[in-house]
Amino acid sequence: MVRTVFSPEYCLQYLEQYASKEIFVVGLILGQTTNEKENVIYLARTPEEKNADTVSESSYVSDKTDIAKNLLSVSEAWVADHAKHVTRMLPGGMFVQGIFVTSDEDIFEDPNQFSKVKEILHYIHKVLNVNQYMYGNCPYTNERLVLHMSTSTKVLNCKSVEVGAPNRSTVIKPVEWKFVPKIQQWQRLDCYYEFDEVYPVIVKKSGISVKHQFQQILESAHKTIESSVMFIDGELKDGNEAIEQIIKKKKTKTNSKNTQQDIPKTMQVSLFVPFENTLPETVEYLECDGSIHFSGVVSSSVFMCPKATISEAIVAVKQDIIRSLASRFTMHCDALIDDNLLPEEKVCFNEPPRRVLVPVGSIYLCDYLFPGESPAEALLSVRELLDLQITEADVICDVETPADTSEFDALDRDASSEELLATPQEASQFMYITGICFAMLVLIVSIIIHYYDTIMDVLRKLLSRKYY
């Protein structure tokens, strides 16, 4: 059976704008794969390669570029790095499904060209597989798409190539690519997951590694979220049931009540963590030097094909939360000047970037803004990584609020005032003197109360006596 891929018509227009100018382009195919249907949501051109001395891990922005004239001059590492950055912007359940090429040469007929295609796909798979919490590689299939449009004939051809095989064996299959004039309908699932956990910290001779601590938090969060149970609109759904079936039931229920209320365009998702009421037989005690209080709310917006099942939606929501944490932790650590926190730093505050949404077609992808950054920073990422022009008004910045630092400021003031405190010996002497004075005051008050009547009689006699 031939694999069929559905794509909106604006993807065809995107290819034609480069093919008509006879421009060589290589880029990424972004989409979603389910058991019932495979959808492509967007094609993102890979930026021109930057010089090694001008590009950083967290940014593609640079003035110096090396323009590739054909596929053989493209660096597979550069395309893979583009795929890694774009994966951070994808919601759960969506992946880099392959690459597209516009060129005059037939990349499937030329052995050198096709060999380069395979190298790029294998390198992307390898890079995205490094961080398991990024969920870079689609778990449902090892086949990656290769879409080619000839700049001379404007003919489209698509095939799939298997990646990840230990012996690098190549299985090539034909793919039927269908451009759909009607915009694909997506079901949006929104979830707000709150974290409020305390983790132990052990100070080593080299200090505390921020990246290591974040990795431990990520591992713990992954175990917790994977064990959680998902409720949709407050109800526990059957995992084998399709999303469109739930929508139909809602429409039927609404029509039966003869109401004019529309069916909500979004489904509210809640994750509940089962309570474990069992303790291990032996409890290990760990001597710690401090603790990390990890607190905040992760906003999740996932878009699923209506034919997808509830089980696939559950996986996508959990992927989205963990992928978002892994993305912002990595970005935060890359932005640090020094990864180590020295032991003498008693209080330290780390604020990873917050999530914002950017529109792509009929769905939203995401970007991350560091504290103090404006939506204009998101426009740069969208233009560089997605080859998309949007305005600041299009960026949705209120899905996550900036961190509340009031509690940290109070702790910081307490820590900074330690130098003004008395030494333990001075404090002990002060408390001793204060205690004596307080005891004397209590004794005097008690005597006055006890002999109140006697004292008052004496005072009245003294005041009534006449002196001549």
pLDDT at 56: 47
**Above 90 in pLDDT, residue 237?**
yes
Residue tagged 């989205």 (tokens) = 320
| 74-83, 124-133, 193-202: least confident range | 193-202
- pTM of the entire predicted model: 0.81
Domain enclosing residue 245, as ranges: 187-418
Q: Residue range 5-26: average pLDDT?
A: 94
Residue 18 lies in a domain: yes
- Say whether pLDDT at 55 is over 50: no
Q: Is residue 467 part of a domain?
A: no
Q: Where a domain ends, among 127, 152, 180?
A: 180
Average per-residue pLDDT in the chain? 83
Span 301-305, mean pLDDT? 96
| Structural domain ending residue among the three candidates 180, 204, 238 | 180
The pLDDT tens digits for 431-453 are 445 555 656 666 676 666 666 66
Q: Please say whether the beta carbons of 61 and 384 come within 8 A.
A: yes
Asked if residue 332 and residue 198 are part of one domain, the reply reads: yes
Asked whether residue 256 falls in the same domain as residue 303, the answer is yes
Query: Which pLDDT belongs to residue 443?
Result: 63
Q: Are 94 and 111 in a shared domain?
A: yes
pLDDT surpassing 50 at residue 58 = no
29 and 145 together in one domain: yes
Do 102 and 68 belong together in one domain? yes
| Domain identity same for 207 and 93 | no
Percent of the chain with pLDDT over 90: 56
Q: Is residue 468 part of a domain?
A: no
Q: Please list, in sequence order, all residues whose beta carbon lies within 8 angstroms of the beta carbon of residue 38, skipping any fewer than 6 positions away.
A: 3, 4, 5, 6, 31, 32, 97
CA distance 19 to 289: 61
Residue at 43 is within a domain: yes
Q: Is residue 466 part of a domain?
A: no
Residue 62 pLDDT greater than 60, yes or no: no
Alpha-carbon separation of residue 296 from 81, 90, 319, 378 (angstroms): 29, 21, 18, 22
**pLDDT band with cut points at 50, 70 and 90 for residue 289:** confident
The pLDDT of residue 307 is 92
Our CA angle for 425, 430, 433, nearest 5°, is 125
- The verdict on 355 and 265 lying in the same domain is yes
Nearest to 93 by CA among 385, 244, 308, 270: 308
> What's at 398, amino acid-wise?
D
- Where residue 468 falls among pLDDT bands split at 50, 70, 90? very low
Domain count, the chain: 3
For tokens 């249907």, name the residue: 37
**Does residue 328 belong to any structural domain of this protein?**
yes
Q: Are residues 308 and 374 in the same domain?
A: yes
| Banded pLDDT at 421 (limits 50, 70, 90) | very low
Same domain membership, residue 432 and residue 413 = no
Residue 256 maps to a domain: yes
Q: Same domain for 142 and 291? A: no
Domain boundary among 180, 199, 224: 180
Same domain, 152 and 255: no
* 463 falls within a domain: no
Does 199 lie in the same domain as 63? no
Q: Check if the beta carbon of residue 107 is closer than 8 Å to that of residue 146.
A: yes
For a pLDDT cut of 70, what percent of the chain falls above it? 74
- Digit-coded pLDDT (tens) for 312-348: 999 999 999 999 999 999 999 998 877 766 555 567 7
Q: Are strands 363-369 and 354-360 parallel, antiparallel or unpaired?
A: antiparallel
> Residue 427 above 70 pLDDT?
no
